[in-house]
Amino acid sequence: MDLSTYKFPEVTKADLAFPTFNTPKELVSEAEKRNPQKGMKKFSELFYKGGKFDFKDDVKGTWKENAFMYARALMGSWAPKHEHKELVVGMILEECLVL
What's the predicted TM-score (pTM) here?
Answer: 0.90
pLDDT of res. 28: 96
What are the residue ranges in the chain where pLDDT is below 50? Answer: none
Residue 55 has φ and ψ, to the nearest 5°, of -75, 150
SS3 97: strand
pLDDT recorded at residue 73: 93
User: Quick one: pLDDT at residue 50?
Assistant: 86
Q: Is 31 in contact with 90 (CB distance < 8 Å)?
A: yes
Digit-coded pLDDT (tens) for 26-35: 999 999 999 9
